[in-house]
Structure 1
Amino acid sequence: MVSTTPATHAPAAADPGPLRPPWSARALIAAGLLVAAVAVTWLTFWWIGLSPASLAAGLDDTARLLRRMWPPDLPGAGDVAWMIAETLLIAVAGTGLAALVSVPLAFTAARDHRGPRWLRPAARVVVVLTRAVPTLAFAILFVRIFGLGPLAGALAVAVHSVGMIAKLLTDAVEEADPVPAEAARACGAGEVQVAVSTVLPRVFPALTGIVLYRLDINIRASAVLGVVGAGGIGVALQTALGSLNYHRAAGIICVIVVLVLLLELLSVAVRHRTVRHRRVRHSRAGRSAGDTTGTPALPAGRAPHDVGWDRGRVLRVAGAVATGVVFLVSLWSLNPDPGRLSGAWPNLRAVLTGMWPPAFSGDLLMAVLESLLMALGAAAAGAACGLVLALLTAVNTTPWRPLSAVVRVLLVVVRGIPDLVYALLFVAALGLGPFAGFLALWISSTALAAKFFADSLEQLDPLPHEALTSVGARRWQAFAAGIWPQFVPSFTGNGLFVADLALRESVVLGIAGAGGVGYLMQESIATLRYDTTAAIVIAIAVVVYAIETLARVARRHLL
């Protein structure tokens, strides 16, 4: 029987209107960070009294100072060689000492540590504190304890480097394959034997890369440690500026810039060689894995257990021996005689006993707030300016290839000048205060952000941009729809990283009189008020750790 009931039709759905993407947590975080950056930048401008008129006047004063510094007066070749050698030895000694300390510290701070339970949190506290306090802040303390000279500088480099090397090495230890370690424990090996025989060989390549990267950073930092009397070429720079010999100061700045640029070129060459070596090794391994002709892995006549002394092993052993010799020479150059070290013990005891209890005050908190505003405002302004320069530099966004090369060279030169040198110049031109520190951080943050942003832009998927361009989209339309949505996570993550670095540097700039908490720290040590010094160190560590946590949470939700 066929039903004659008329078929019922579903009611027509209401018109949903134009489609809009839903608000996700990722979009909310990105929008919140953008609003916060604008608000902090406006507050920073208000705090330091920055206006177009004051900025123009400040730049005019700086231009007059630069004209007074021309032409540069270069020191003698012998003096330059000695200053550069002392700077390099400080960096090598500090990095080597930090590597020796970081290995046991990283194994103790790792998640699978089997020793006493209280050791792991204690090790993590040491890692956080040493990483949070800048190198120059440690240099001020060690100059007070050990006196003027490269010994204080090397120890400052070592203590601060422990935080980074131990943190990255801890991550490598935790990511290592646990099976060999468990097998060694099952055979009755102790924890030290397990670490040395199974874990350390697996993380040694990562440790080598971390130490080389940290050495590059430490050489740059050692170039300005002499400003507080910790040896190196910075001593000559501080002497020249203090005696108003601006021509000699310009010459020393040129030496520092050339040294940093040469190190940059050397670092790039080493990284390219390492990448090429890995590619060749992987390709050989792939060919060996696919070889089914029965070709032996070892040359004919060599026993399986006899690895042999081939050219690669000879070079590696020679490099290790040379590294050890250079490290010992660098330690000897610090003049660590027992009499000097024993004489420093009363100073160390006075510093440590005077630090408790910490003396927090309203002036201290206002100085910390000033450093925070300087750093975040300069990072936000630097990110905006760096984005413009990155668009002119990246090969997939630049309107003209020769312009990209010119801007890239300019950024390398600007980034090669340490932040403290910018601060010293602006303080000499504009006087003491946060205005000079903000301008110094603004310049360095712009150059650093432009480099990070340009690298991120060049690594994006080119297909969306090419598809939009092929159907007639204009340049700004293809960028807004094809590049920017991909770039937002990298822009946010790199911007937060620049803010983190700017916050650490704001403490350093205050030592030169460029505002912030650094000047208060130097004054507290000079007047033996170590309880105030302890409060400043604690405040810096808390603020830096908070910024790091914010950056880590944002990257986890955005990247």
Structure 2
Amino acid sequence: MVSAAPVRRAAAPVSARPPVSSRAVVAAALLVAAVAVTWLAFWWIGLSAASLAAGLDDTARLLARMWPPDLPGAADVARMVAETLLIAVAGTGLAALASVPLAFVAARTHRGPRWLRPVARTVVVLTRAVPTLAFAILFVRIFGLGPPAGALAVAVHSVGMIAKLLADAVEEADPAPAEAARACGAGEAQVAVSAVLPRVLPALTAIVLYRLDINIRASAVLGVVGAGGIGVALQTALGSLNYHRAAGIICVIVVLVLLLELLSVALRRRTGAGRAAGDTPRRRTRAGRAAGGTLRRRTRAGGATGTAALPAGRTPYDVGWDRRRVLRAAGAVTVTAVFLVSLAALSPDPGRLAGAWPNLRDLLAGLWPPAFTGDLLMAVLESLLMALGAAAAGAACGLALALLTAAGTTPWRPLSAVVRVLLVVVRGVPDLVYALLFVAALGLGPFAGFLALWISSTALAAKLFADSLEQLDPLPYKALTAAGARPWQAFTAGTWPRFVPSFTGNGLFVADLALRESVVLGIAGAGGVGYLMQESIATLRYDTTAAIVIAIAVVVYAIETLARIARRHLL
């Protein structure tokens, strides 16, 4: 018999292309969605090259009318700046006090009643979703005009951010000390105060300093709705068409914000809050070595040689007062004194606060049921399109500016320095100020709000993108250029694939901030849902106010969820 030869199957062709990853799919989907939303926003607003050129021409004529700036007197400037700073400090201090217990309850490590955690997380989300200026409108209605309403607005909105970031720090803290305290019979409050809070105190310091910087910017424009600060003078000048005085007040706001930003950076470097968690045993302080170190000193006792755990003359429970500990105690006392002085300087009238109860009762009684209407949903959609379109356009322009400023991609170092200074100045002007200027130049409507958000989103995106580009490893780019690749080829092949996660994450962060600010800009007449909120409170239609707040919270939470999913797939 002749055996049949084995039949060989043809090998399947090997594909030279790698399989499509979920990361690439998510990145492509986000890019397509950004392009589609930007086109829809341009169509909705009626933005075109001709309208943009006409709008810029009107804005240029308005700026020409504002020159030269008319600065207020030194006494008036000092009073307005002091009131703005007091509002920010008092609000941040109140928020820090309220955020510490809220963060411990909202953290996943909480061992108390289970129903408290979802309640705490709901409070964190709601307070973070509603902008400061929206809270200011509510508190002005409840407590009347003046700085106390502004301080409460700053405090309530700041609770969301401080509590969220502090809860993350509590969850990441070493659980061993807390477990040891529980094993000794300590309650949850004792565990939080003695075992967890000291370990997250550096993170809390950094968070509060960062939030104070944000609150000072926000406090500068709270006066637009009557909540005190330098914004009152700005609104008065614009309302009376005194553009020279408005320009002078804007200059004061910009200088104030820039100086405080430099001070905030210096304080963060001085305190070293971000480095506290990463200290190594080699860098322990003298107090730390005395309390828990293993300093060994040879002693002679009857001819025998032994070791002593502590220096002679110091009891085990006395860790001593060194220079570092004295400075920390003095700093804590100083911060407490400044906070108390800021509260007292706001002159809260007890009778006025007691009389606010009927207003608060009427507001709470009128919030339910929320009144959702077609006009409200269209206004929310307008705010959403305005914010996402401006964020997408700002991300594109910010990327171009980031390539000019980043150390590894700039074509000329002096150009990088000039662009960086320009971006700092642009970021120093609050979004609402841009909106007021564009409304004065172009009239009411979403076109003015879109331009204001576009400018602020471009400046913020450029800073974030430049920082991310400088943190990337430059070796792939240098290797490709050394092999003969042109700069754009080296960037496309060596830098861009590793920059995509940061680009996406920072772009979504810019969109989140733009969405919050779009609500605020409507108060100045720059389109969106903000105008409806201010009108509903002025006319006592609190059911509409409740519907607006719920709609804003849902949209902001959806954007945050999208950003979290994108980061999980891209990072």
In structure 2, C-alpha distance between the alignment counterparts of 1:387 and 1:6, rounded to whole Å: 67
Offset at residue 511 of structure 1 (A): 0.5
Partner residue in 2 for 1:285: 283
The reply on whether 1:91 has 2:88 as its aligned counterpart is: yes
More deviation in 220-229 or 5-14?
5-14
The reply on whether 1:305 has 2:317 as its aligned counterpart is: yes
Give the alignment of 1:8-19 within 5 angstroms.
Answer: 13=11, 16=14, 19=16
1:70 corresponds to which of 67, 72, 81: 67
In structure 2, C-alpha distance between the alignment counterparts of 1:535 and 1:277, rounded to whole Å: 40
In structure 1, C-alpha distance between the alignment counterparts of 2:268 and 2:441, rounded to whole Å: 39
Partner residue in 2 for 1:484: 496
User: Helix, strand or coil: the match of 1:115?
Assistant: coil
In structure 2, C-alpha distance between the alignment counterparts of 1:302 and 1:27, rounded to whole Å: 63
User: Helix, strand or coil: the match of 2:97?
Assistant: helix
Residues 111-156 of structure 1, C-alpha deviations (whole Å, 9 max, x = no match): 2323222211111111110000000000000000000000000000
In the alignment, structure 2 segments of 5+ residues that lack a partner are 298-307
Partner residue in 1 for 2:152: 155
Partner residue in 2 for 1:191: 188
In structure 2, C-alpha distance between the alignment counterparts of 1:15 and 1:118, rounded to whole Å: 58
The reply on whether 1:427 has 2:439 as its aligned counterpart is: yes
Offset at residue 205 of structure 1 (A): 1.4
1:134 corresponds to which of 125, 131, 134: 131
Offset at residue 485 of structure 1 (A): 0.6
Partner residue in 1 for 2:199: 202
In the alignment, structure 1 segments of 5+ residues that lack a partner are none
Partner residue in 2 for 1:437: 449
- Distance change in 2, residues 1:297/1:8 (3 Å): farther
Offset at residue 66 of structure 1 (A): 0.1
Are the aligned partners of 2:391 and 2:514 in contact in 1 as well (CA < 8 Å)? Answer: yes
In structure 1, C-alpha distance between the alignment counterparts of 2:222 and 2:77, rounded to whole Å: 16
2:217 corresponds to which of 217, 220, 244: 220
Are the aligned partners of 2:296 and 2:310 in contact in 1 as well (CA < 8 Å)? Answer: no
Offset at residue 8 of structure 1 (A): 8.5
Give the alignment of 1:56-455 within 5 angstroms.
Answer: 56-275=53-272, 278=275, 282=280, 284-285=282-283, 294=296, 301-455=313-467
Offset at residue 499 of structure 1 (A): 0.3
In structure 2, C-alpha distance between the alignment counterparts of 1:287 and 1:417, rounded to whole Å: 42
Offset at residue 23 of structure 1 (A): 1.0
- Distance change in 2, residues 1:287/1:318 (3 Å): closer
More deviation in 535-544 or 206-215?
206-215
Partner residue in 2 for 1:45: 42
Residues 80-108 of structure 1, C-alpha deviations (whole Å, 9 max, x = no match): 11111110100010011011111111111
1:543 corresponds to which of 528, 545, 555: 555
Residues 477-516 of structure 1, C-alpha deviations (whole Å, 9 max, x = no match): 1011011111111101100000000000000000100000
Residues 131-186 of structure 1, C-alpha deviations (whole Å, 9 max, x = no match): 00000000000000000000000000000001011111111122222222222222
In structure 2, C-alpha distance between the alignment counterparts of 1:497 and 1:272, rounded to whole Å: 25
In structure 2, C-alpha distance between the alignment counterparts of 1:136 and 1:73, rounded to whole Å: 27
- Distance change in 2, residues 1:299/1:57 (3 Å): farther
- Distance change in 2, residues 1:79/1:25 (3 Å): same
Q: How many residues align?
A: 553
User: Helix, strand or coil: the match of 2:72?
Assistant: coil
In structure 2, C-alpha distance between the alignment counterparts of 1:460 and 1:273, rounded to whole Å: 26
- The amino acid that maps onto 1:53 is A
CA RMSD of aligned residues (A): 2.3
Give the alignment of 1:29-44 within 5 angstroms.
Answer: 29-44=26-41
Offset at residue 308 of structure 1 (A): 1.5
In structure 2, C-alpha distance between the alignment counterparts of 1:424 and 1:361, rounded to whole Å: 28
- The amino acid that maps onto 1:324 is T
Offset at residue 314 of structure 1 (A): 1.2
- Distance change in 2, residues 1:464/1:344 (3 Å): same
- The amino acid that maps onto 2:376 is L
- The amino acid that maps onto 2:17 is R
Are the aligned partners of 2:84 and 2:228 in contact in 1 as well (CA < 8 Å)? Answer: yes
Offset at residue 461 of structure 1 (A): 1.2
In structure 1, C-alpha distance between the alignment counterparts of 2:409 and 2:309, rounded to whole Å: 48
Offset at residue 378 of structure 1 (A): 0.2
Give the alignment of 1:12-27 within 5 angstroms.
Answer: 13=11, 16=14, 19-27=16-24
In structure 1, C-alpha distance between the alignment counterparts of 2:496 and 2:520, rounded to whole Å: 35
In structure 1, C-alpha distance between the alignment counterparts of 2:489 and 2:407, rounded to whole Å: 17
Offset at residue 322 of structure 1 (A): 0.8
Are the aligned partners of 2:206 and 2:273 in contact in 1 as well (CA < 8 Å)? Answer: no
Partner residue in 2 for 1:505: 517
User: Helix, strand or coil: the match of 2:407?
Assistant: coil
TM-score by length of 2: 0.93
Partner residue in 2 for 1:494: 506
- Distance change in 2, residues 1:249/1:287 (3 Å): closer
- The amino acid that maps onto 1:357 is P
In structure 1, C-alpha distance between the alignment counterparts of 2:231 and 2:315, rounded to whole Å: 56
The reply on whether 1:534 has 2:534 as its aligned counterpart is: no
Residues 433-457 of structure 1, C-alpha deviations (whole Å, 9 max, x = no match): 0000000000000000000000000
Offset at residue 518 of structure 1 (A): 0.3
User: Helix, strand or coil: the match of 1:494?
Assistant: helix
- The amino acid that maps onto 1:319 is G
What is the percentage of aligned positions where both structures have the same residue? 85
In structure 2, C-alpha distance between the alignment counterparts of 1:351 and 1:396, rounded to whole Å: 55
User: Helix, strand or coil: the match of 1:112?
Assistant: coil
TM-score by length of 1: 0.95
- Distance change in 2, residues 1:293/1:195 (3 Å): closer
Are the aligned partners of 2:141 and 2:537 in contact in 1 as well (CA < 8 Å)? Answer: yes
User: Helix, strand or coil: the match of 1:232?
Assistant: coil
Offset at residue 293 of structure 1 (A): 9.6
- Distance change in 2, residues 1:547/1:300 (3 Å): same
In structure 2, C-alpha distance between the alignment counterparts of 1:146 and 1:79, rounded to whole Å: 25
Offset at residue 189 of structure 1 (A): 1.9
Offset at residue 32 of structure 1 (A): 0.3
Offset at residue 251 of structure 1 (A): 0.3
- The amino acid that maps onto 2:496 is W
